[in-house]
Amino acid sequence: MFFGSIPALVTPFAGGRVAEDTFAEFVEWQIAEGSNGLVPCGTTGEVATLNADEHREVIAHAVRAANGRVPVIAGCGTYDTATSIERIRAAADVGADAALVVVPYYNKPSQAGLVAHFTAIAEASPLPIVVYNVPSRTVADISVESLNEVGKHPRIVAVKDATGNLARVSAQRIACGEDFCQLSGNDDMALGFNAMGGVGCISVSANVAPRLCSDFQKAMREGRWDQALKLQDRLYPLHAALFTDASPAPTKYALSRIKDNFPTELRLPLVEASQSSKRAVDAALEHAGLI
pLDDT at position 28? 98
Give the full edge-to-edge strand order of the sheet including 4-7.
4-7, 200-203, 181-184, 156-161, 129-133, 98-102, 73-75
Predicted pLDDT of residue 260: 92
Across 185-204, average pLDDT? 98
Q: Which of 79, 160, 230, 236 is catalytic?
A: 160
Distances (CA, A) of 92 to 58, 86, 96, 177, 204: 13, 10, 5, 27, 24
| Structural domain includes residue 148 | yes
User: How far does the chain reach from its first CA to its final CA, in angstroms?
Assistant: 34
- Those residues whose C-beta lies under 8 Å from the C-beta of residue 193, and which sit 6 or more positions away, are 161, 166, 169, 182, 184, 186, 201
CA gap 259, 273 in Å, rounded: 17
Q: Answer whether residue 179 is part of any domain.
A: yes
Domain that holds residue 49: 4-222
- The enclosing domain of 79 has a CATH number of 3.20.20.70
Each residue's pLDDT tens digit, 110-161 = 999 999 999 999 999 999 999 999 999 999 999 999 999 999 999 999 999 9
Q: What is the mean pLDDT of residues 93-106?
A: 98
Mean pLDDT for 68-82 is 98
Sequence-ordered list of residues with C-beta below 8 angstroms from that of 152, at least 6 positions apart, any chain = none
Residue 126 CB neighbour total at 10 angstroms: 12
Number of domains in the chain: 1
Residue 22: HSE in the Cβ half-sphere, 13 Å Cα cutoff: 20
Residue 132, SS3 per DSSP: strand
pLDDT at 282 over 90: yes
What b/e string do you get for 184-218 counting C-beta neighbours within 10 Å, with b at 16 or more?
A: bbbbbbbbebbebebbbbbbbbbbbbbbbbbbbbb
Determine, yes or no, domain membership for 267.
Answer: no
pLDDT band (50, 70, 90) for residue 1: confident
Q: Model-level pTM greater than 0.85?
A: yes
pLDDT computed for residue 39 by the predictor: 98
242 assigned to some structural domain = no
Catalytic position from the list 105, 132, 218, 259: 132
pLDDT at 91: 98
The mean predicted confidence, pLDDT, of the chain is 98
Written as one letter, the residue type at 276 is S
> Each residue of 35-65: pLDDT tens digit?
999 999 999 999 999 999 999 999 999 999 9
Type and span of the H or E element at 137: helix 135-138
Per the CB < 8 A criterion, the answer to whether 130 and 98 are in contact is yes
Burial (CB < 10 A; 0-12, 13-18, 19+), residue 79, is middle
Whether 95 shows a pLDDT value over 90: the answer reads yes
| Other CB atoms within 10 A of residue 21 CB | 10
Residue 190 inside a domain? The answer is yes
Question: For residue 184, is it within any domain?
Answer: yes
Closest CA to 4 of 37, 41, 42: 37
* Catalytic residue check, 160: yes
β-partners of residue 259 are: none
In sequence order, the 6+-apart residues with CB closer than 8 A to the CB of 231 are: 212, 215, 216, 219
Q: Is there a domain that residue 229 lies in?
A: no
Tell me whether residue 202 is in a domain: yes
Radius of gyration of the chain (CA): 18
Average pLDDT over residues 77-92: 98
Q: What is the pLDDT of residue 289?
A: 98
Position 36, amino acid = N
Give the count of beta carbons closer than 10 Å to the beta carbon of residue 6: 30
